[in-house]
Structure 1
Amino acid sequence: MSTGYALQRQALEQRLASGEQLSGWKIAFAGSAAQARFGLDEPVYGSLTNAMFVEPGNPVSLPRLIQPKLEIELAFVFGRSLPAGHCRDEDILAAIGEVAPAFEIADCRWQQWRFGAGAFLADNAAAGLYSLGQRVAFNALRHACIAYRLECDGVLCGVGDTLDREDSPLQNLCWLVRRLLADGQRVEAGQVVLSGSLLAPLDVQPATYRLHMLGTELALVFVADPAPA
């Protein structure tokens, strides 16, 4: 695990040196079943940069990806930075300014998604692309229970409620912040946290996916041909 995170950090440093900017973090393996599969006792994380962000309305060309899978997530946006050291849940939640529906396009370099935990971390926890919908002001009580629905070309793919989950987005968020600070990472205002997939990841096909969450709709279009330059 330590080697995987070290390689992940090296890759992030290379991205930043090339001009990309750190925009946030993603959580993976949040559920106990995924953790048990890889012999883990906690989730894992990867980094996000501005180069991974897809503006809503911009189509995503499948040829630019390797083995994409689509995940729906609740995104948190920090309204202020957190200092190094231990943070209580209340401190972490008080630092959140906004929440938004989000798509993550996970992408993996390991053939057929076969990897160990260390290899997964070295591949930046399969962080590929992400897109955020309309942001709303965060309220810890109101946003402890959020319903969501995903459709693909009008066909229902899945529904749920964060209150019914074994791993809650708020719980995952608090774990991530403490782990990042313990690892010497920065948690700064404006950074985004993708708090873990709310449905099983989907193999992506050319189609329009629509996520209904927080009273809004976020659409993401995948196309088979390369996007025009």
Structure 2
Amino acid sequence: MPITDVEGKARALFEARRSRVPIEPFTDEDPSLGMADGYAVQAELTRLILAEGDTVVGYKVGLTSKPMQKMIGVDSPDYGPVLGTTVYRDGDAISASAFIQPKIEAEIVFVLGERLQGPGVTVLDAHRAVAGVAASMEIVDSRFADWRIKLADTVADLASNGAVAVAGRLVPLTGLDTRLVGMTLTRNGELVDTGAGAAALGDPLAVVAWLANTLGEVGIALEPGHLVMTGALHAAVPMTPGDVFRADFDRLGPVTVRVVD
């Protein structure tokens, strides 16, 4: 049965983003909701946000690691737009009060150099289309109470996207195997977690290919300059005012986020 009240659900998420007051998961009321239902709400929510003057500057891909897929009960990733107003630079202060229940994840981000659209995009095609790769951190957030999300909920909620911080150094892919890029994450100088690029679908470039093919099914292309966030390399870490997070990536360098009130 098709999802009902797409506009109402999108408006509820839109207001939750604005007020920073969480709402109850949609799947509480209708456990039958699935990925397609989530994307229907996501499309309407994105329309509402863009109508206020924001822009789509790329996409985030979530659920790219096997543990996360197992936790949500799926066997494929999901995606959501990266909004221009949510992009920060390395070292920027990010206010925790701008979110509801934020967590931070270190990720590999690609910047597109050429237009890329599915179907039929291969990892080699993705490699050719990418201008470079950078260190990044994503702030994930949920507009649903207590992170009680199922697949339809997180998809509807822009794949739980909150913000991104991207390092200023863009590294060419020549001679670089992003599967082997190691990462350490510290909070206030203390090691929190480690990871490697292969955690993202086995190959971060496979994430780009998957995204191009998936977006191509709905007539959307990745454009030059678009960011592609390829998914967390470790478990998400709650962030609180006063925290300073630093992710150091082999060959890519560091990226730092300062959390303020």
- Give the TM-score normalised by the residue count of structure 1: 0.91
Could you tell me how far 1:8 is from its partner in structure 2? Answer: 0.5
Answering whether residue 139 of structure 2 is matched by residue 105 of structure 1, we say yes
Moved more, 41-50 or 54-63: 54-63
Structure 2 CA distance for aligned equivalents of residues 166 and 96 of structure 1: 17
What whole-Å deviation, never above 9, does each CA across 1:3-54 have from its counterpart, x for those lacking one?
Answer: 1101111111222222111111111111233323333221111111111111
Q: Give the structure 2 partner of residue 81 of structure 1.
A: 115
Q: 1:215 to 1:90 in 2, by over 3 A?
A: closer
Q: Give the structure 2 partner of residue 132 of structure 1.
A: 166
Identity of aligned residues (%): 28
Answering whether residue 198 of structure 2 is matched by residue 200 of structure 1, we say no
What letter is aligned with 2:173?
A: F
Moved more, 175-184 or 91-100: 175-184
Answering whether residue 252 of structure 2 is matched by residue 218 of structure 1, we say no
For the residue of structure 2 that corresponds to 1:173, the secondary structure is: helix
For the residue of structure 2 that corresponds to 1:48, the secondary structure is: strand
Structure 1 CA distance for aligned equivalents of residues 225 and 201 of structure 2: 28
What whole-Å deviation, never above 9, does each CA across 1:95-132 have from its counterpart, x for those lacking one?
Answer: 00110000100010111100121111111111001010
**Could you tell me whether the CA contact under 8 Å between 2:86 and 2:163 is conserved in 1?**
yes
For the residue of structure 2 that corresponds to 1:54, the secondary structure is: strand
Q: Give the structure 2 partner of residue 183 of structure 1.
A: 218
**Could you tell me whether the CA contact under 8 Å between 1:145 and 1:162 is conserved in 2?**
yes
- Which residue, 52, 57, 69 being the options, matches 2:86? 52
Answering whether residue 180 of structure 2 is matched by residue 153 of structure 1, we say no
Could you tell me how far 1:85 is from its partner in structure 2? Answer: 3.4
Q: Give the structure 1 partner of residue 7 of structure 2.
A: none
Q: Give the structure 2 partner of residue 16 of structure 1.
A: 50
What whole-Å deviation, never above 9, does each CA across 1:172-221 have from its counterpart, x for those lacking one?
Answer: 22212211111222211100010000111001122111111134221110
- Unpaired runs of 5+ in structure 2? 1-34
**Could you tell me whether the CA contact under 8 Å between 2:179 and 2:202 is conserved in 1?**
no
Q: 1:104 to 1:165 in 2, by over 3 A?
A: closer
Could you tell me how far 1:143 is from its partner in structure 2? Answer: 2.9
- Unpaired runs of 5+ in structure 1? 225-229
Structure 1 CA distance for aligned equivalents of residues 81 and 158 of structure 2: 7
Matched length: 224
**Could you tell me whether the CA contact under 8 Å between 1:93 and 1:140 is conserved in 2?**
no
- Which residue, 208, 219, 238 being the options, matches 1:173? 208
Could you tell me how far 1:165 is from its partner in structure 2? Answer: 6.6
Structure 2 CA distance for aligned equivalents of residues 125 and 63 of structure 1: 20
Q: Give the structure 2 partner of residue 93 of structure 1.
A: 127
Q: Give the structure 1 partner of residue 76 of structure 2.
A: 42
Q: 1:100 to 1:14 in 2, by over 3 A?
A: same
- Which residue, 63, 68, 85 being the options, matches 2:102? 68
Structure 1 CA distance for aligned equivalents of residues 201 and 117 of structure 2: 29
Could you tell me how far 1:89 is from its partner in structure 2? Answer: 2.1
Q: Which has the higher helix share?
A: 2
What letter is aligned with 1:63?
A: S
Answering whether residue 179 of structure 2 is matched by residue 144 of structure 1, we say yes
What letter is aligned with 2:253?
A: T
Moved more, 34-43 or 47-56: 34-43
Structure 2 CA distance for aligned equivalents of residues 55 and 165 of structure 1: 23
Q: 1:217 to 1:119 in 2, by over 3 A?
A: same
Across the aligned residues of Structure 1 and Structure 2, the Cα RMSD in angstroms comes to 1.8
- Give the TM-score normalised by the residue count of structure 2: 0.80
Could you tell me how far 1:151 is from its partner in structure 2? Answer: 1.0
